[in-house]
Structure 1
Amino acid sequence: MISTHVRVAGNDHGTDKIGTPTRLDFRRERKITVFEADSWVGNGAIIRAGVTIGRGAVIGAGAVVTRSVEPYCIVAGAPATLVRKRFNAADEHTHDAVVFGDHLSG
């Protein structure tokens, strides 16, 4: 689930080329941003291009996510930091089995 006003921001401008204004220093990197199943991104969050929001993770409203978020973690703040895990390991396994059934392997 992705709430309103969420943005995925690319690494589209460089800052270290001598003689090139920042507004003209485009980075042409292609970065894939992944939102895994059962994740939830709160209102106004900013997600850095190229990160993965893990299965079942929760991103707090207004968070600035600069690094990938592990499955079932709740993060918030700027930059986003771990608030807590949603479940312990056993409950995580049970949740996966109920929600995803045989669709998850490993």
Structure 2
Amino acid sequence: MPFDKRSKIEYNVYLSNANGISIGYNCRINENVFIQQAVIGNNVLIAPNVAILSVSHNHENLEIPIVDQGDTEPNPPIIKDGVWLGRNVVVMPGITIGEGAIVGAGAVVTKDVAPFTVVGGVPAKLIKSRK
């Protein structure tokens, strides 16, 4: 994982599986961030209390309690260069957040985010283009 003098990782950042995490240059990761697995580009801002998830729970069989069905296969999100994830954002497994995108505070990202767009809400929806 590259690290340069411009990068900053605050207190209480939890990396669930460091083998599945890549973090680019000049990134800011604020306090209380949880990252299961992810590919994070350069110049990325991650605000406090963000959760970046790579697995979920299987839940297809109604005859078996969800807790006993195990986890899905890891599917790390990809966060491209220049992205800003606002406070309390949740990024679901397998999501790609395009270059220069902004995800507003409190959003839950369940679908890919196009480059240079602003999204927000639960689930996250397009607010506007940055271009």
Give 1 or 2 for the bigger CA radius of gyration: 1
1:42 matches 2:86? yes
Do the aligned partners of 2:56 and 2:93 also contact (CA within 8 Å) in 1? no
Tell me if the contact between 1:54 and 1:69 (Cα under 8 Å) persists in the aligned partners: yes
What SS class does the counterpart of residue 5 from structure 1 fall into? Answer: coil
Partner of 2:122: 78
Q: How many residues align?
A: 87
- CA distance in structure 1 between the aligned counterparts of 2:51 and 2:94, rounded to whole angstroms: 13
> Is the strand fraction higher in 1 or 2?
2
TM-score, normalized by length of structure 2?
0.62
Instruction: Look up the SS of the partner of 1:23 in the other structure.
Output: helix
- After TM superposition, what 4+ stretches of structure 1 lie above 6 angstroms from structure 2? none
Q: Which has the higher contact order (CA 8 A, sep 6+)?
A: 1
Q: Which residue of 2 aligns with 1:54?
A: 98
Note the residue ranges of structure 2 that are not aligned, 5 or more in a row.
1-44
Q: What's the % identity of the aligned pairs?
A: 32
Question: For residue 71 of structure 2, what is the aligned residue in structure 1?
Answer: 27
When the two chains are superposed, the root-mean-square deviation of aligned CA atoms in Å is 1.2
Q: 2:108 aligns with which of 55, 64, 79?
A: 64
Q: CA deviation at 1:9?
A: 3.0
